[in-house]
Amino acid sequence: MKKFTRTFIVTFMLVLSMIFATSAVIAAVAPLPAGVQEGINYIDDNTVVLVLLAPDKGTAEVTGTFNDWGLTEMNKTPDDEHFWIQLENLTAGQEYIYQYLVDGTIRISDPFAEKILDPWNDQDIPEENYPGLIAWGTDEDREKGLASVFQTAQEPYQWQVTDFQAPLQHHLVAYELLIRDWTEQRSFQSVIDSMPYLKKLGINAIELMPVNEFDGNLSWGYNPSHYFAVDKMYGPKEKLQELIDVAHQHGLAVIIDMVYNHTFNQSPLASLYWNPDGGTEGQPAQDNPWYNETPPHTCVAWGNDFDHESPYTQEFFDRVNKFWIEEFKIDGFRYDFTKGLTQTYSTSETWQDGQNCGNWTDWSRINIIKRMADKVWEVKDDAYIILEHWGNAEEEDELVSHGNGMLTWRKLHYNFEKLLCGEETNNLSLGGAQSDTRIVFSGSHDEERLAFSTLNCQSNATAMMQRMKLGAAFIYTVPGPKMLWMFEELAMDYSLFTCEDGSVQYNDGCKLAVKPFKWNEYMTDPNRVDVYETYADIINLRTQNQVFTHGYFRFDEDGDANFDDYETGALRQIQITHETMDVVIIGNFGNEGGSITPAFTKQGTWYNYLNKEYPTYEYTGQTSYYLAPGQFEIFTSVPIDDNQVLAPTNLTTTISGNDVTLNWVDNADNETAYQIERSTSATGGFVALPLQPVNTTSYIDQGLANGKYYYRVRANGDSEPSDYSETVPAQVGPTPGVKVHFKNTDNWNPVKIYVFDWDSKTAIDGWTWSGVNMTQESNSPWYTYTIEVEVTPGMVFNNGSGLKSKDLTRTTEGWYDFGSEQWYDVCPGDCPTPPVPEISVDKPGGEYEETVTVVLSASNNGNITYTTDGTDPRNGVDYNEALTFTSTTQLRAIATNNEGESDELDETYTVIHPVPVLTVDPKGGEFVGVIDVTLEASHNGVIYYTLDGSDPKNGTITHSGQLQFAGDTPLRAIALNDNGYSNEIEEYYDKVESTCDTIFYYNSNNWSTVNIYLFNANGDALAGWQWPGEPMIQIDNSKWYYFVNCETVDVGIVFNNGSGQQSDNEFSNSGWFYNGSWYTTCPGNCPGEQPEGLALHCKKPSDWSTVYLYYWSTTPSVSSPGWPGVPMSDTDGDGWYDYTIEGVECANVIFSNQGAPQTGNLTNVCEESWYDNGWVSDPGFKNAGMTAQINTFVSKPYPNPFSKEINIRINEADAEVTVQILSLKGSIVFTDVLSSENDGILTIHPSIPEGLYLLQITSKNTIQTFRILKE
């Protein structure tokens, strides 16, 4: 039966209340206080008003800690809609727990509360996630159930970014993230710590899976219970606000996932009107204002289904949307299963049969979603609205074209899954990847991970990772919004459907199971790091170049350069053209090699983007390009400048007294300094402030005079600087008055103005209705008033007797015509006769350093003329823009209008050109280990220094001012600008031995930050230590970092990057930690050392004419050659071809016959090696043509490092071996001949000094070599 309408219910219940008034218990009736809304209303620090929406309920009482869990009766409104109570004499800042008791039996939490206590789950929330959480879990608490919390006098979060500009919708690259499975911490903080990782990836938005209060602690969040409360498992609401703020500082938008289709039984909206006898376990009652009794669409339904045609439901979710936008500054919503937001009845039991749950266009549902979207855009007109809709094309097209434009999900998972496996290449298209109205993805939280399915069909993990990179090239370069599911960029090959017992079963229970954390494993795997870096290269290429957002795009899906035949195959390509550049992307999805015809748009040089040296391809006409299975290339018609310095973004200003603090996002990784510039005009006259060091993200401009200033920032580079950031204003001191004029077209008497805070829509201290009288201007219909407040002014013109204008705002002088209800910048008519003008200047005359910029202004439409040579300004030039003086200047100016001229302004500006002031930090003295020294010069001084005691005027220039000393060092320095030399710095830095120990760490993972965290033998943090610990100091430009450990107890150590990646627990007070092992001296890649080179040898196959070597991902990093690489040479004619990669210790390599055929990817080659259809052992037998495989007769030596003896297990019975230990220079320091005894284990007792050696073992014709460390 259709529910009663709201009007009928109210009328009917009023009649019943009159009939039974003599026998029923009637709540006190009182209207709602003005200005309150449903939920918690904070009146002041000691008073709240609680409002409960409970249509047609008889009574409501509130109980909680404020009344010692007694019952306080609530007032009932005359329309039977609401109950309310005002609570007074509360303690400011104290958290109070409370619940509602309705009709004497229904106990519920507040559906509008921003914090909910759960007696069954809160005790499992870690203290580090939610410090100081109220205890709520006793048997008595469980009897009460879920409870709400209110707290007066809360400190509002101080936002650092208040005006974030989210990326345009069709530019989106969103990262779908489940906080539960992100890191072991499962917290908002863990995402904050990972922000540099996400920023480097190139994405521009984070899409958080649900974070509002849900059932349990370890859910995905699609079982919501409360919509205004943040789920405490992840942290308090302030941490979520900080997460969003930090994301905005990094230029990343934040989208949150909301579930408006259903809740389960924990929701108070369901409990308040519940039929315990309905369904199998109860269901919403027929009179529930928010829910259907049963879902009208039975084919797909979960929990309790909302009635989205109910005005109660609509008002509730409009309030939810507004709350998250205003309270958390989110940038948009992803709405889950919007196909369910319908009241259209359907009994279909299948998904794809053409009924409403399938593909039938449902105009009721369309109108429901449109209405909600319009309400969202009333609050934030550029909010993203993303729908998981799965409707037919007609319905989705109608939705995405409405209003400001929504997006619907579009998944290409099946297509990519098959193509990355090399299957169905002749049947599947990727054309759906292009759309400006669908957000396209190859994987989300609902599908099996692509890497897992690809690994199962490819031969090995290396092939799988190559295929993942291929897939990235063919989705993230395609124009239109895109999304990737977390860890795709690391080729996570752990099945999404892994159950808690480790098995893989394709059901919801296993899909939703908690998954293990792979950070340590993946971020120490160079192959997976390479996948991440390739994704980052591709996504950054997209987000930083207009061709991918504004170019003309075409797909050729059979590799013949014919874009009109719509045929598909294994070889595919993308062509994008734009005035800035053209792009051609080619790839092979098949399992066999093949040749493609690249669709180059012009003859000449093309550049391969993913080769850091931009190897060129000369295109002279139609050509054929061979691609191995899984191979892809991205060619651009112009070189992409990897050395380009990225501009800072999200510049903000904060005012404190006469100081302005600037904050910005550092987007560059190759800047040499930051240049901040200030002006008093938004259009010019900027002057440079002192240079700031690399990685700076804030600056305080101190001691400014009152006035309005404008700032901009850019990053300097080795050659060209970056673009400027946006220009932002800063008002120091009181806001200048805003003069407003009102045309009294209705002959009001008096004419008054009331001023209020426009942003908060609240009263301003000292202002009461109806405001103050305005002043008539020269017997005209115009009245004027100058508003002087420190907030954005709102105003209402009125006559003090009920007649008034609408709410208005104005921040510059303006003329409001009440007749036309329009603002004008100048008087539009019937203008008052202006008095003579007044002229003013923003800076008085006097002494200034370097340059001074002044701004002239005149009132009453005065026209300014001026001179700067002391002559009469009446004969001067017209003033149009700010004036900048670089030398002593007399400024004379005058303003005139039709009524006369102003007084003359006469100011003299004396510009002093100071020499630089040079400072050093720290000053000289004793130090331990390595010391970092910073030199800074004011007034654009260039710093010269020496380290040998000689005159610094003849020394070396330092642009960064950053020096590092590792020994006794005499420092002399001086700075020079156009005005002369600075003071000279002369300091001596004396290195001394310390009782402290030094810990060294080799940053093989290329973390941007290396931290060290120390704990004691019990696993507890040492006094004064908090995670993630202290930053380690980089030594020179190497991968080695150090920390001076002065703790007096044995310590445990965790090396980490502060963003979720960390080492295992280590135990040592000193030493060198290198690739998982401790050493007493530097074991390799030492600071100041250059690797001698990696020598490689390949036995040429008989059917090859030559041998080429291609290498990449080297350690240390060097540029890779263009394919097929460099020619190797057979210098002694023995068939072995040789090449040494200079300055490299490790590399990934491929040998080929100048391109084809070729070997597979040979990864992590880290010592001199020989290849003959497989790796073979030492060169001692290469001339004899021996090809024994590595690791055939002995296992790795152990322990390693060793102190007295080392053991080797021999895998061949009765084997005799020769054992030699060699220095790293090749000299033999120990030798012996041994036979296998004692179960094949050899024990060696070499008497050699401590250090790093090579252990060489020879058996018959086979030699094996290992690195060993003697401690």
Q: Measured between alpha carbons, how far is residue 499 from residues 216, 509, 856 in Å?
A: 18, 7, 73
475: how many CB neighbours lie within 10 A of its CB? 21
Say what the pLDDT of residue 814 is: 93
Say what the pLDDT of residue 590 is: 94
Given the structure tokens 């917290």, which residue do they identify? 187
Q: How far apart are CA 117 and CA 1230, in angstroms?
A: 70
Residue-wise pLDDT for 1159-1189, tens only, equals 888 887 877 888 888 887 644 443 333 222 3
Given the structure tokens 């991968």, which residue do they identify? 1039
Mean pLDDT is lowest, of 35-44, 638-647, 695-704, 988-997, for 988-997
Say what the pLDDT of residue 649 is: 84
Segment (H or E) for 245: helix 237-249
CATH topology of domain 20-152: Immunoglobulin-like (2.60.40)
* pLDDT above 50 (res 544): yes
Q: Band of the pLDDT at 860, cuts 50, 70, 90? A: confident
Task: Provide the token pair at 1068.
Answer: 């040592």
- Those residues with Cβ within 8 angstroms of residue 547's Cβ, 6 or more apart along the chain or in another chain: 576, 577, 578, 580, 581, 582, 583
1048: how many CB neighbours lie within 10 A of its CB? 9
Given the structure tokens 């003896």, which residue do they identify? 1205
Inter-residue contact 1096 to 1168 (CB < 8 Å): yes
Q: Which residues pair with 827 in a beta bridge?
A: none
Helix/strand/coil for 417: helix
Q: Which residues pair with 149 in a beta bridge?
A: 97
Q: How far apart are CA 1070 and CA 1168, in angstroms?
A: 31
Of 331, 480, 300, nearest to 407 (Cα)?
480
Q: Are strands 482-485 and 173-177 parallel, antiparallel or unpaired?
A: parallel
HEC readout, 1050-1069: CCEEEEECCCCCECCCEECC
Taking the CA atoms of residue 1214, residue 1218, residue 1219 and residue 1221 in that order, the dihedral angle to the nearest 10 degrees is -170
Q: Band of the pLDDT at 4, cuts 50, 70, 90? A: very low
Say what the pLDDT of residue 672 is: 83
Q: Band of the pLDDT at 479, cuts 50, 70, 90? A: very high
Of 325, 437, 307, 305, nearest to 375 (Cα)?
325
Residue-wise pLDDT for 49-95, tens only, equals 999 999 999 999 999 999 999 999 999 999 999 999 999 999 999 99
What DSSP character marks residue 1253? Answer: E
- Residues making up the chain, counted from first to last: 1271
Q: Band of the pLDDT at 1243, cuts 50, 70, 90? A: low
Q: Measured between alpha carbons, how far is residue 825 from residues 406, 617, 812 in Å?
A: 36, 59, 8
Task: Provide the token pair at 133.
Answer: 């959480």
Angle, CA 1245 vertex, CA 1217 and CA 1193 arms, to 5°: 25
Angle, CA 1054 vertex, CA 1051 and CA 1055 arms, to 5°: 125
Say what the pLDDT of residue 41 is: 97
Say what the pLDDT of residue 350 is: 43
Average pLDDT, the chain: 86
Taking the CA atoms of residue 538, residue 541, residue 543 and residue 548 in that order, the dihedral angle to the nearest 10 degrees is -100
Most confident of 226-235, 357-366, 715-724: 226-235
CATH topology of domain 1094-1176: Immunoglobulin-like (2.60.40)
Say what the pLDDT of residue 1244 is: 64
Strand segments, DSSP code E, in 1018-1171 are 1030-1031, 1033-1034, 1040-1045, 1052-1056, 1066-1067, 1071-1074, 1077-1079, 1094-1099, 1108-1115, 1126-1127, 1136-1141, 1146-1152, 1162-1165, 1169-1171
Of 566, 564, 598, nearest to 582 (Cα)?
598
pLDDT average, residue stretch 642-665:
86
What DSSP character marks residue 904? Answer: P
Amino acid identity of 68?
Answer: D
169-405: which CATH architecture? Alpha-Beta Barrel (3.20)
* pLDDT above 90 (res 472): yes
Say what the pLDDT of residue 1196 is: 61
What DSSP character marks residue 1181? Answer: G
Q: Measured between alpha carbons, how far is residue 83 from residues 61, 146, 226, 287, 995 in Å?
A: 9, 20, 20, 18, 71
The pTM score is 0.59
CATH topology of domain 839-911: Immunoglobulin-like (2.60.40)
CATH topology of domain 408-636: Immunoglobulin-like (2.60.40)
pLDDT average, residue stretch 759-770:
89
Inter-residue contact 211 to 231 (CB < 8 Å): yes
pLDDT average, residue stretch 29-56:
96
Q: How far apart are CA 751 and CA 763, in angstroms?
A: 20
Where helices occur in 421-500 by DSSP H, the ranges are: 450-457, 461-473
Higher pLDDT: 482 or 623? It is: 482
* pLDDT above 70 (res 1190): no
Higher pLDDT: 74 or 825? It is: 74
Of 152, 218, 136, nearest to 179 (Cα)?
218
Of 589, 626, 322, nearest to 429 (Cα)?
589
* pLDDT above 80 (res 186): yes
Residue-wise pLDDT for 905-963, tens only, equals 999 998 887 888 889 999 888 877 678 899 998 888 889 898 888 888 888 887 778 88
Residue-wise pLDDT for 561-584, tens only, equals 888 888 889 999 999 999 999 999
Helix/strand/coil for 856: strand
Say what the pLDDT of residue 262 is: 94
CATH topology of domain 649-732: Immunoglobulin-like (2.60.40)
- The region, left, alpha or beta by phi > 0 then psi within -120 to 50, assigned to residue 332 is left
Going across the sheet that includes 687-688, the strands are 687-688, 673-679, 707-716, 728-732
Q: Band of the pLDDT at 357, cuts 50, 70, 90? A: low
Say what the pLDDT of residue 1237 is: 55
Higher pLDDT: 234 or 1247? It is: 234
pLDDT average, residue stretch 840-865:
85
Helix/strand/coil for 510: helix
- Those residues with Cβ within 8 angstroms of residue 96's Cβ, 6 or more apart along the chain or in another chain: 64, 65, 66, 90, 149, 150, 151
Residue-wise pLDDT for 109-127, tens only, equals 999 999 999 999 999 999 9
Q: Measured between alpha carbons, how far is residue 613 from residues 580, 618, 681, 1126 in Å?
A: 21, 15, 43, 14
Of 912, 916, 905, nearest to 886 (Cα)?
912
- Annotate 1227-1265 with b (16+ C-beta within 10 A) or e (fewer): eebeeeebebeeebebebebeeeebbbbbbbbbeebbbb
Backbone angles phi and psi of 467, in degrees to 5? -65, -40
Inter-residue contact 1066 to 1078 (CB < 8 Å): yes
Find the radius of gyration of the CA atoms of the chain: 37
Does domain 997-1079 match CATH 2.60.40.10?
A: yes
- Those residues with Cβ within 8 angstroms of residue 874's Cβ, 6 or more apart along the chain or in another chain: 865, 894, 901
- The region, left, alpha or beta by phi > 0 then psi within -120 to 50, assigned to residue 837 is beta
Helix/strand/coil for 216: coil
The interaxial angle of helices 450-457 and 413-420, nearest 10 deg, is 30
Q: Band of the pLDDT at 35, cuts 50, 70, 90? A: very high
Residue-wise pLDDT for 1064-1102, tens only, equals 777 776 788 887 788 877 877 777 666 667 889 999 998
Q: Band of the pLDDT at 8, cuts 50, 70, 90? A: very low
Say what the pLDDT of residue 1189 is: 31
Say what the pLDDT of residue 519 is: 86
CATH topology of domain 738-824: Immunoglobulin-like (2.60.40)
Q: How far apart are CA 768 and CA 508, in angstroms?
A: 60
Q: How far apart are CA 330 and CA 256, in angstroms?
A: 7
Of 1121, 1120, 1117, 1125, nearest to 1098 (Cα)?
1125
* pLDDT above 60 (res 393): yes
Task: Provide the token pair at 401.
Answer: 């074209």
- Those residues with Cβ within 8 angstroms of residue 778's Cβ, 6 or more apart along the chain or in another chain: 832, 833, 834
Helix/strand/coil for 312: helix
- Those residues with Cβ within 8 angstroms of residue 580's Cβ, 6 or more apart along the chain or in another chain: 545, 546, 547, 638
